[in-house]
Structure 1
Amino acid sequence: MAMGLHTQGRGKRGGRSRAPMAEINVTPMVDVMLVLLIIFMVTAPLLKAAVPIELPETRAKAMSEEANQLTISIRRDGVIFFEASPLAPGELPGRLASVQRGADGKPPLVTLRADKTLDYGRVMDVMGELNRAGFTSISLVTGVSGG
């Protein structure tokens, strides 16, 4: 009897005494956990882009997420970010040399995010450093335009 109360024999005054129900209804807890799971699944991809950058807009298709992926970002003021940590000038080659290769020996896919107001030469300098370090698979990230 999940919803009812169990009764025992007569109490001191001849009435019925009621024992507390010892079963826990887990349905509300499961509902809350499923809602939280959905919230985390929706917000997790948004947390990937930790460096605020105004990306140029295109009508290109969205790229898929890969497990072995490295994000390099260039902010409007020219500061380079390795994932979410800023790099000092000249530090990029050393950080790229320390990147672990995959199980098959291939380097990770690099996604390059650059502010749309940056000089083209600055972006090409970073791409040259990536190429020199052996990263030949580079994806340029853009914003989504309507239309």
Structure 2
Amino acid sequence: MKGGMGMMPEHRRKPMSEINVVPYIDVMLVLLVIFMVTAPMLTQGVKVDLPETTSDPIQQEKNVEPIIVSVDSNGAYYLEVGDEGSDPMSLTQLSDQVGKILSQRTKSEILVRGDEYVDYGVVVRLMAELQAAGASSIGLITDTPREQQK
């Protein structure tokens, strides 16, 4: 009796034991395109011409990332915490943000990147505001002179 109802067919299909990798390749290519587009955006920062001077590097603790405050040549303030940068902000906004960060991370060191051509008073007012916000340690970032880099 062949092919009757309720009976098992004579030839069974073997279960497929291969993994279909085509969807995984599609997902991988999409992720590759996303990372290629976003990677240049992650390395953008504030264009600051640092003053050149010879100085010893600052010794910092290993597990504490410094808070970097930048002042560009127009006198605009930027805040960088870890890999995250900010849009230009006013001095009072910057002071509020730094105060909030320092209330959570008391041992954070603050580094100031001031453009070489920014007015000295702008940097001094910035450092005074940072101290008022609770900063105990403020350092200045500089470049090494070009003749010493060779």
Q: Which TM-score bucket, shorter chain as reference?
A: 0.5 to 0.7
Counterpart of 1:117, as a letter, is Y
Secondary structure of 2:124's match? helix
- Report the count of equivalent residues: 97
- After superposition, residues 27-106 of structure 1 pair within 5 angstroms as 50-64=45-59, 66=61, 67-83=64-80, 84-89=85-90, 90-100=92-102, 101-102=104-105, 106=106
Distance in 2 (CA, whole Å) between partners of 1:51 and 1:107 is: 25
CA contact (8 A) 1:53 1:114 kept: yes
Distance in 1 (CA, whole Å) between partners of 2:49 and 2:88 is: 19
Shift in Å, 1:54: 0.2
Secondary structure of 1:85's match? coil
Shift in Å, 1:60: 0.9
- Higher strand residue share: 1
- Higher helix residue share: 2
Runs of 4+ in 1 over 6 A off after TM superposition: none
Shift in Å, 1:65: 5.1
- After superposition, residues 112-131 of structure 1 pair within 5 angstroms as 112-131=112-131
CA contact (8 A) 1:79 1:86 kept: no
- Compute the TM-score of the two structures, normalised by the length of structure 1: 0.59
In structure 1, the gaps of 5 or more residues are 1-46
- Compute the TM-score of the two structures, normalised by the length of structure 2: 0.58
Match of 1:136 in 2: 136
What is the percentage of aligned positions where both structures have the same residue? 27
Secondary structure of 2:67's match? strand
CA contact (8 A) 2:70 2:78 kept: yes
Query: What is the RMSD computed on CA atoms of the aligned residues?
Result: 1.9
